[in-house]
Amino acid sequence: MLGYFQKQLRENPVLESFPYWVAGLLVGSIAILYSEFFDLAIKTCRWFLSEHPYWLFLLSPLFFILGRWLVEKYAPAAGGTGVPQVIRALGLESPQQNSEIEDILSLRVASIVILSSIFCLLGAGALGREGPMVHIGACIFYVVGKKFGKIWPVVEHRSWIMAGAAAGIAAAFNAPLAGVVFVLEELAHQHFHRFKTAVLTAAIIGGVVSQWLSGRFLFLGYPKLGVVPLSSIPWAFGLGILAGLVSVPFLLMGSSKVRTWFSVYFHSRIQIAAVMGILVAAIAVFLNPGSIGGGVSTIQTLLFEPDYRADWSLIAARFLATSLSHLSGCSGGFLAPSLALGAAIGSWFSEVTDYSNHNLLVLVGMSAFLSAVVRAPFTAWVIVMEMTDRRSAVFPLMVASIVSYGTSRFLQQRMGYREQ
């Protein structure tokens, strides 16, 4: 039987892509299920906030502890945003370091990522599912690659990891092009030419399956922009500087120095999770309920409810809740929360400057802040453009992304902040 399959592969090279099709189908399907549970967790938490707000002071630390305990007990690599783990796996060599790779990329790790992030959401956390989908996609592709490796031609493990990351982003955002750009800019700028076919195939399949199953073509819909003149460029430039400034303390809050300080000050990691849960609950109850969740609903409200504008409380709530949720040690990503915080900054900037095109500055703020946080300007504006289909805004998006990235990098270098 093995000889037959190998003969078919020699005669039909196109079949070499079959394992990527299988893995892409799995990632797209899991992304939809994950999204449904993610949204259900947010709705459940908001129900408690609406009906029994003070229960959150009990439930939030409880769920944060559960999310952190799952990571500590069963899969330490499942904690955090997911992207650093994938980058670490890419830096390991196979077969010499296979055991270390499998500690980062396995079905058990993927399962704990999902469960821990759901618990975080039930506890009023403010982390997203997009970063975890990068990790989950890499796990699934790596496992599928190992299974098929027994009969298929040997493929370097980095091919599976990068393809899985691309499929994860594409499925999470319903944006195949964003998946390709993310891998090219964030993960594989040195290796992409060797694995470009696998990455392209995986991103397309992951995105198409996600769109087919979910029935949603655009992640955020079609916000009204009207005419986007070149005179909007100076506003995009100014908003890019502002987003870059805000990104620096946001990144510092998630840095290893801050995490080390918390670990020294508190007696245990579980204690840190409990305290973070109480603080996040207080933010939702007393500051702004818009802090709950990954932030997609916040973005949609800003774009599609004409009378709604962000104020300082929404910006502060999104900033603090996301930072504290990350410090809790639960699984969860920064991509959607960064977009939401950027949208709030853009909305507020539109109000204080009295700029007429509010929705444009919301989109520009999203692109600018995401660019500064993930250090990937191209990925930022491609994601925003592909999620909204607003190609007319491409120049302001690009300008803001580059300016924000440059501002953030300049300030970090001046402060001696080197963490990647």
Tokens of 127: 């982390």
Looking at the fold, whether 23 and 162 belong to one and the same domain comes out as yes
Looking at the fold, whether 71 and 197 belong to one and the same domain comes out as yes
Looking at the fold, whether 155 and 243 belong to one and the same domain comes out as no
Q: Average pLDDT of each block of 10 consecutive residues along the chain (420 residues)?
A: 56 64 87 92 95 95 96 92 88 82 94 96 93 93 84 72 87 78 69 54 62 59 81 94 95 81 78 93 96 92 91 96 92 91 96 92 96 89 84 89 94 73
Q: Where is the domain boundary, 214, 239, 265?
A: 214
Closest CA to 66 of 243, 273, 224, 289: 273
From the CB of residue 406, how many other CB atoms can be counted at a distance below 10 Å? 16
Residue 16 confidence (pLDDT): 64
Q: Where is the domain boundary, 214, 243, 276?
A: 214
Task: Give the bridge partners for 80, in sequence order.
Answer: 331
Closest CA to 378 of 407, 343, 405, 339: 405
Residues 6+ apart with CB under 8 A from 393: 225, 228, 360, 363, 364, 385
Residues 388, 360: Cα–Cα separation, whole Å: 11
Query: 272 near 327, Cβ under 8 Å?
Result: yes
Q: Where is the domain boundary, 154, 185, 214?
A: 214
Residue 218 confidence (pLDDT): 53
Looking at the fold, whether 371 and 339 belong to one and the same domain comes out as yes
Residue 420 confidence (pLDDT): 47
Q: Is residue 145 part of a domain?
A: yes
Residue 219 confidence (pLDDT): 62
Q: Is residue 219 part of a domain?
A: no
Q: Is residue 420 part of a domain?
A: no
Please report where in the chains the tokens 């396995």 appear, as a residue. 106
Looking at the fold, whether 201 and 264 belong to one and the same domain comes out as no
Closest CA to 291 of 324, 318, 330: 318
Looking at the fold, whether 276 and 371 belong to one and the same domain comes out as yes
Residues 188, 180: Cα–Cα separation, whole Å: 10
Residue 123 confidence (pLDDT): 95
Q: Is residue 201 part of a domain?
A: yes
Residues 128, 312: Cα–Cα separation, whole Å: 22
Residue 402 confidence (pLDDT): 93
Looking at the fold, whether 254 and 145 belong to one and the same domain comes out as no
Looking at the fold, whether 185 and 138 belong to one and the same domain comes out as yes
Residue 175 confidence (pLDDT): 74
Q: Is residue 345 part of a domain?
A: yes
Residue 383 confidence (pLDDT): 87
Residue 10 confidence (pLDDT): 54
Query: 400 near 368, Cβ under 8 Å?
Result: yes
Residue 140 confidence (pLDDT): 95
Looking at the fold, whether 36 and 169 belong to one and the same domain comes out as yes
CATH of the domain at 406: 1.10.3080.10
Looking at the fold, whether 189 and 256 belong to one and the same domain comes out as no
Number of structural domains the chain divides into:
2
Q: Is residue 180 part of a domain?
A: yes
Tokens of 333: 């990503």
Q: Is residue 225 part of a domain?
A: no
Range of the domain at 319: 230-415
On whether the pTM is more than 0.85, the answer is yes
Q: Is residue 224 part of a domain?
A: no
Q: What is the tally of helices (H) and strands (E) in the chain?
A: 19, 0
Instruction: Tell me the one-letter amino acid at 296.
Output: V
Query: 368 near 403, Cβ under 8 Å?
Result: yes
Looking at the fold, whether 202 and 278 belong to one and the same domain comes out as no
Looking at the fold, whether 189 and 241 belong to one and the same domain comes out as no
